[in-house]
Structure 1
Amino acid sequence: MPRFVDLRRLAVSFVLLGSFLGALASEVSAAERVETTPGLAPDAVRRVFEGQRQALAGCLRLVAESKQAGSPARSVPWNASADADDRLLLRFTVDANGKVAKLNSYQSTMDVRGAFIEPSCARALAEQWTFPPPVGEQSVEVSVWARFRSTEAERKAALARIHESFATLCQAVASAIPGDARPTKEVWDAALARILSEHGPRLDTRVRRTLDAVMGVSVANASNILLESMDSLATDVACPKVRAWSRF
């Protein structure tokens, strides 16, 4: 059985990887500066970034961890300071095939820095970019500078959509599975499939992605993943049935 910490990481990754698909007014600027080592022209990188940059705009930083002595860390809505820097920096290596190079089987060379962007979400997107193969079949170091800033209203709206979607999900679970006993895996999977069919298009992409991910997972682990997803985005949805099933 996966450890609790692994379930938390899994839940958070589902949420963050889905976050870029939300429809938002924010915009990542065109590259202000591009630097490359020999083998790949900055203009070639600039063209790829221009075609992909707006997808990054959905990677809003929405939450931060709040830590108090004697209490576990919890997620709270993130608020930017008045002088928060809107600069965005992406640094990575392009391999001989024009792909973002990997450090190992789990981690790419993509490094994303910016006050207003969620790095994990942006990395998941940017790791998929494809560039012209470098001249001489060598790896190339790349740095791209741009600008990105979200407003407090946009962040609040995104969190509100997530909260509403989790509330819809919990109500649908309660309706689809009568009684308080933990359902069998077959009943659970059938209920999730029905919920996705009936409510999927109206759910926030983050919530829908999490539901897709827990299909086929044991009820206890799926319940924990759903709850960790809710908690990681500072939602206060009660969801009593799912919480009860996670404690068995």
Structure 2
Amino acid sequence: MKAVLWVMLVSHAAVPQKVATERVETSPGISESAMRESLARVTGALERCVPELLPDTPELDDRVSIRFTVDKEGRLKQPDLGPALKVKGLLDRQCVNEQAKDWAFPKPSTGQRVDVEWSLRVQLDRARSNALRTEARQEVKAYCDAFKKRLQKTPKAPWIAGQALVDFLRLRGVKVTSDDQEGMKTADLTQARLTSYGRRWVEAMQQVLPPNWRDIVLSTGEELGDPNICPELASWQPNWDG
């Protein structure tokens, strides 16, 4: 479940963080200068693949390595299995492979495929990442506060997680339609006072069945470095049969 939730919750940089080429190595067929020129046209797009929330570790490596193969037509070679690019480092792999679909290069002079290793450096904005992490934690805690209030009234009712989400969103300026049993039916998040990270876990809750809501909130807490962010929700035992 957590792996699936991470795909839904992963957030890329809304404000680009600089990504710069450090080194390019190619096998015979395309010169380094020609490859650098081609890669310069797509480097900027990789900035959106920098996670907004950087890993909370003092020794964060800013180096990225991308390996790929160019076919004899100058296109990215697609393997039978797995992604076209092998990405090592901070950039989100799925995002990079999505960006690479339209990459084009000179046709190799040898008429044979060319192997490329592209080394980059990412300029990391720790201050912005830490500020977002703090604000995102506050959002999850606000939802947990709303849940605790509902829990005190009807502790076994399975719908209180949805009702708490309605309460939380209304406090954030969201227009919500709901009913007493199912909680939220529709929500207009366009004017919501939410971080981009908070918006994503709320949207994730909208896409799954109620029994999975708890997993989304608790997984979000873990991603934010606070696995005990909502103990009442973690220990909650609703009566799904009632």
| Structure 2 stretches lacking a partner, 5+ long | 163-177
Aligned to 2:97: 127
Deviation at 1:98, TM superposition (A): 4.0
Cα distance change of structure 1 residues 189 and 230 upon mapping to structure 2, 3 Å threshold: farther
Q: What amino acid is the match of 1:113?
A: K
Q: TM-score, normalised by structure 2?
A: 0.66
SS of the aligned residue for 2:68 comes to strand
Determine which of 33, 39, 44 is the counterpart of 1:45. 39
Conservation of the 8 A alpha-carbon contact between 2:53 and 2:133:
no
Give the aligned partner of residue 56 of structure 1.
Answer: 49
Q: Quick one: structure 1 residues 242 and 141, their matched pair in 2 at CA, closer, same or farther if it must change by over 3 Å?
A: same
Q: Give 1:97 shift.
A: 8.6
In structure 2, the partner of 1:156 is 130
> Aligned AA for 1:132?
A
2:18 is matched with 27
Q: Measured at CA, do residues 10 and 149 of structure 1 come closer, stay the same or move farther in structure 2, by a change above 3 Å?
A: same
Q: CA deviation at 1:8?
A: 1.4
Rate the CA distance shift 1:216–1:98 in 2: closer, same or farther, 3 A: same
Once residues 94 and 172 of structure 1 are traced to their aligned partners in structure 2, the CA distance between those partners, rounded to angstroms, is 53
**Contact residue 162 and residue 207 of structure 1 kept, 8 A:** yes
Measured after TM superposition, the shift of residue 39 of structure 1 is 6.5
* Partners of 1:100 and 1:127 within 8 A in 2: no
Provide the secondary structure at the position in 2 that maps to 1:48: coil
1:145 counterpart = 2:123: no
Q: What are the Cα deviations for residues 30-51 of structure 1, in whole angstroms up to 9, with x where unaligned?
A: x1323345369412122112x3
Runs of 5+ unmatched residues, structure 1: 1-6, 63-76
CA displacement, residues 140-188 of structure 1 (integer Å, 9 cap, x when unaligned): 5332222124254344223112212323444566679974311198968
What aligned pairs does 1:167-182 form with structure 2 within 5 A after superposition? 167-171=141-145, 179-180=154-155, 181-182=157-158
Q: Any idea what SS the aligned residue of 2:140 has?
A: helix
Q: How many percent identity over aligned positions?
A: 20
Larger Cα Rg: Structure 1 or Structure 2? Answer: 2
Aligned partners of 1:174, 1:198: CA distance in 2, in Å?
23
Aligned length: 211
Deviation at 1:12, TM superposition (A): 2.5
Say if 1:60 and 1:150, in contact at 8 Å, map to a contact too.
Answer: no
How far apart, CA to CA, are the structure 1 residues paired with 2:214 and 2:207?
12
Q: Matches of 1:174 and 1:22 in 2, distance apart?
A: 32
Aligned equivalent of 1:86: 62
Give the Cα separation in 2 of the matches to 1:172 and 1:200: 20
Counterparts of 1:189 and 1:102, CA distance in 2: 45
Report the Cα distance in structure 1 between the residues aligned to 2:147 and 2:231, rounded to whole angstroms: 9
* Aligned counterpart in structure 2 of residue 9 of structure 1, from 3, 24, 40: 3
SS of 1:135's equivalent in the other structure is coil
User: What SS does structure 1 have at the residue aligned with 2:42?
Assistant: helix
SS of the residue corresponding to residue 18 of structure 2 reads coil
Cα contact 1:27–1:57 (8 A) shared by 2:
no
Match of 1:223? 214
Contact 2:69/2:115 (<8 A) preserved:
yes
CA distance in 1, matches of 2:142, 2:190: 8
TM-score for both structures, normalised by structure 1: 0.64
Give the residue type in structure 2 aligned to 1:238: C
CA drift at 1:245: 5.5
Deviations 1:196-222 (A, max 9, x none): x25874322233223323324221123
Q: Is the 8 A contact 1:100 1:110 kept in 2?
A: no
Higher relative contact order (CA 8 A, sep 6+): 1
The CA deviation at 1:109 is 3.4
Alignment-mate amino acid for residue 205 of structure 2 = V
